Amino acid sequence: MQIQLKRIYDDAEPGDGFRVLVDRLWPRGVSKERAALDLWAKDVAPSSALRDAFHHGGLPWDDFASAYRTELAGNPALRALQAELAQHPVATLLFGAQDAQHNQAVILREVLLAG
């Protein structure tokens, strides 16, 4: 299975395969039609407290990544997402963050590919 990453604000493309939004909050300014989602997996997104600590509280990236991995380890929604993604040869995890290297989708992709 191939898992790609893409900003939700970028246009949907046929090569995206199964499109999954992995943010807890709906991204501003994006209609449901434009998003062209197959699934909104908000239950695998970081908790509100962790997201706020990272985005507004100055939590360093490495600390955020570690805390998010811990949250995912105990999250049954992760297993459900893995089962869903296993049915598709290509999936794209969509995120709203401006930073393409430092966001929850990067970590989630690593965890999903590690199995």
109: nearest Cα among 80, 81, 74: 81
Residues 6+ apart with CB under 8 A from 56: none
Domain ranges of the chain: 2-114
Rounded Cα distance, 79 and 35, in Å: 24
φ and ψ of 90, to 5 deg:
-135, 130
Q: What pTM does this model have?
A: 0.94
What pLDDT score was predicted for residue 60?
95
Q: Which helix (H) or strand (E) holds 54?
A: helix 48-55
Residues of the chain where predicted confidence (pLDDT) is lower than 50: none
Collapsing DSSP to helix, strand or coil, 24 comes out as: coil
pLDDT score at 68: 98
**For 31-58, what is each residue's pLDDT tens digit?**
999 999 999 999 999 999 999 999 887 8
Which residue is listed with tokens 């794209």?
92
